[in-house]
Amino acid sequence: MESPARDVQLTELRDMIKELNKTVSAQSKTMESMTAMLAEKDQRIAELTEELRLLRRKMFGASKERTVIQADSDQLDLFAELGMVPEQEPELVEAEFIEVKAHKKAKKTKATFDELFGALRVEKVYVDTLSDEEKTCSVCGSEMRPIGTERIRRDVVHVKPEMYVIEYMATTYECPRCKDTEDPQFIKDEGAPPALLDHSYVSASLAAWSFYQKFALAVPYYRLEKSFEELGGPINRTTMANWTVQCNERYFKPMTDLFLRKAIERRFLMMDETPIQVLKEPGKAPESKSYVWLLRTGEDGLPPIVYYRYSPTRSGDTAVEMLQGIRAGTYLMCDGFSGYNKLKDVRRCTCYAHIRRYFYEAIPKGHGNDITNPAVQGVMYCNKLFEYERKYAERGYKPETRKKRRLKDEKPVIEAFIAWADKQSVSGNGKFAKAVTYLQGRRNYLMTYLEDCRCSISNNWSENSVRPVTVGRKNWLFSSSIDGANASMGIYTIVEMAKLYGLSRYKYLEYLLRQRPDSDMTDEELERFAPWNEEVQKICSKG
């Protein structure tokens, strides 16, 4: 018979074992939690390392999204395996396979002097340094006569900009017969052209030069202020900012409103947006983001139009407002920003340049030529589409032929691309996962551009058009007020429209400030000042 003391011991041991089991269980759970945390930490470190690699490549590496993939048998086998080679021949269009060849940079030929400076005025200087004695024949003593000239060299001369003052003087006339009478007669000639801005000394040329410097050359007003000081005409930046607001409201806005009205009449449009900073906005901190919205016409073969608008937010309501009155069924090329979902009457086209960029940024360092890497494969799908488009352009296909070729050549590639993406196993927040998610999120718009050959395959035209704003903001940094932001977008519209039509941007700004279009004019009257007008092209041509 066991003693009571032994029973107590056994009871204590059982309790101790239970406590130990609880402790072990708690520690096991802690270990599992820590293991999960470490795994999550490792994944986050990998993601941050990938982000750092991408940022370094963007900052220090090549800016172009290029992959040097040779068109070898392995690549062709991969395309065939992925379903990128059409199996059946169409009845109307011959099938073709286009190889994605490595990019070879063509050697640039040095431009000739005439190609560089042929548009400049030429002033001939005839050298005359010989004395009368040297012009006397050493054989017979006769005076030598000139028989021809030849060029010694050519110099390109720069004349420093100049500022000067024009004073408009009114002449007073009197009647010689009436001057000594009780009713002498006088008349004053006050027919000087009206001032550009009331109570201001600014001329059309001075305002146009300041706008050209800031909005075409990205020279901020504080630097231009120093430049004017060196010319002997101190003009402060606040004054120039006031010119910007007033000239835009009076003379440029009627034109930019016309451009917008003309743009929304078209069936093929593109949009993009980029952040800017505006210091004085009601209810917003100075460091908060505002946005520039860009609208431009697409590849419809008609005269191009580009239009910029400031908005305090990135809300899709801005896009809805800009496209108010648009025809239902208009094709719109834009990126994947959800704000465009508010546009209900458009046919959305997706940008394959954006899709390619996501996959390009997901390629691990040193794996750019590894066709077994899924990110490289994603880039190859996009490259194949762009290669087809390039071939169509080179061969000058007519619209109907181009549409048939797209359906035959590109539609199977897109279908294979989607099927390939659906098979990818992705998790986490890595670059490749983002690329696949972005592609799948555009699923409903991937083939819209196949409906009409005038639809673009990318939004590159919009990105090129918004680039002047992104370059400019690096220098002028911000707009002080809402009025200033609106005025800036108006003048950017004028400057970029001049650029699209090959005009001198300075001449076109000055031309509009001299002609002074106003909001009371009809569209027909305003079109006389549009950059596509033949007379405007003659007056504002370069050179």
Check whether 111 has a pLDDT greater than 90: no
Domain final residue pick, 418, 437, 456: 456
Do 389 and 329 reside in the same domain of the chain? no
d(CA 146, CA 448): 73
Average pLDDT, the chain: 84
Within 8 A by CB and 6+ apart from 188, the residues are 170, 171, 172, 173
**Of all residues in the chain, what percent carry a pLDDT higher than 70?**
85
- For residues 463 and 450, membership in a common domain is answered with no
Confidence of residue 62 (pLDDT cuts 50, 70, 90): low
Which pLDDT tens digit goes with each residue over 294-340?
A: 999 998 889 999 999 998 888 888 889 999 988 889 999 988 788 88
What's the mean pLDDT in 213-218? 91
Last residue of a domain, one of 439, 456, 473: 456
Same domain, 411 and 367: yes
pLDDT at 89 over 80: no
The lowest-confidence range among 22-36, 147-161, 337-351, 498-512 is: 22-36
Total domains in the chain come to: 2
- CB 288 within 8 Å of CB 279: no
Highest mean pLDDT of the ranges 123-132, 237-246, 288-297: 237-246
- 275 occurs within a structural domain: yes
Domain co-membership, 208 together with 296: yes
| pLDDT reported for residue 69 | 52
What does the buried/exposed string (b/e) look like for 64-89 if buried means 16 or more CB atoms within 10 Å of the residue's CB?
eeebebeeeeeeeebbeebebeeeee
Answer for the pair 487, 248: CB distance below 8 angstroms, yes or no: yes
Q: Rounded distance, CA 468 to CA 498, Å? A: 13
Do 495 and 400 share a structural domain?
no
Same domain, 490 and 343: yes
* pLDDT attached to residue 86: 43
In a domain, 48, yes or no: no
What is the full DSSP assignment across 9-37?
Answer: HHHHHHHHHHHHHHHHHHHHHHHHHHHHH
367 and 337 in a single domain? The answer is: no
| DSSP state, residue 449 | G
Q: 493 in helix, strand or coil?
A: helix
| In the predicted structure, residue 409 carries a pLDDT above the cut 80 | yes
At 445, the pLDDT band (50, 70, 90 cuts) reads very high
Say which residue, 113 or 268, is predicted with more confidence: 268
Confidence of residue 475 (pLDDT cuts 50, 70, 90): low
What is the mean pLDDT of the segment spanning 506-521?
Answer: 96
A 10 A CB-CB count for 185 gives 12
Distance CA 314, CA 273 (A): 8
What is the pTM assigned to this prediction? 0.76
Report pLDDT for 414.
93
Q: Could you give the dihedral angle defined by the CA atoms of residues 331, 461, 488 and 541, in that order, rounded to the nearest 10 degrees?
A: -110
Residue that finishes a domain, picked among 411, 426, 456: 456
d(CA 227, CA 219): 10
pLDDT-based confidence at residue 429 (cuts at 50, 70, 90):
confident
Do 235 and 343 fall within a single domain?
Answer: yes
Residues 259 and 337 in one domain: yes
Question: In angstroms, rounded to a whole number, what is the distance separating the alpha carbons of residues 407 and 401?
Answer: 10
Asked if 211 and 301 sit in the same domain, the reply is yes
**Domain around 427:** 363-456
